[in-house]
Amino acid sequence: MIWVQSPQWVRWILAIALTGVALWSEFGPDPSRPHPFAAKPIAAGEEISSDNTELRQVPDGLLDPVPDQGFALRSFDPGEPIVLAGWAEEPPPGPRNWWSIEVDLPAGAHLGAEVQLVLVEAGSTVPGRVVAIPADDPLSGSRGAVAIPPESVAIVARAAMTGQLVVLVRSG
């Protein structure tokens, strides 16, 4: 501190600059913004709203902003951020009154694609439509959702639980 002993005006400038930096860091602009996170499990196709999300502060620029209302293209676990890749303005394409089930989808499956669910144990097939696709993240897995007719719900769910379900995607 010998270098600030004289002249005295150097000490005053340093003290004012240090005080200015302290005030700016305390009262300056907040570098974070609110972002929606899943407050409870959100299934693919379910509406995303303030009922099933909570706002948390995240650093500005970390996550792309998403609108307050929309529909889930994939499932979200509690505490998971709502991201644009899993959000849509309109409900996923699926016939009305059909049920959806989360399954492993083959590569190339796209939203709205017609699929056949092969029930290996029963030796039968059930038609379906892809209503949620996996995230683009290679570490997220290949889980998506397929809508199925109400009369096939029980048999498809049983096949999915026992690992006896194969999903075939229409080519072309």
The helix (H) or strand (E) run that includes residue 59 is strand 53-59
Q: What is the pLDDT of residue 96?
A: 74
In this prediction, residue 85 carries a pLDDT of 81
Q: Are residues 63 and 125 in the same domain?
A: no
Cα separation of 125 and 145, whole Å?
A: 17
The answer to whether residue 10 sits within a structural domain is no
Kindly state whether residues 118 and 148 are assigned to the same domain. yes
Residue-wise pLDDT tens digits, 41-56: 988 778 898 899 999 9
Domain range for 138 is 99-169
Flag whether pLDDT at 126 surpasses 90: yes
The dihedrals phi and psi of 44, each to the nearest 5 degrees, come to -60, 130
Question: Which two tokens mark 28?
Answer: 């300056």
Q: What is the mean pLDDT of the segment spanning 23-27? A: 83
Work out the average pLDDT over 93-115: 82
Whether 36 shows a pLDDT value over 90: the answer reads yes
What pTM, to 2 d.p., does this model score? 0.53
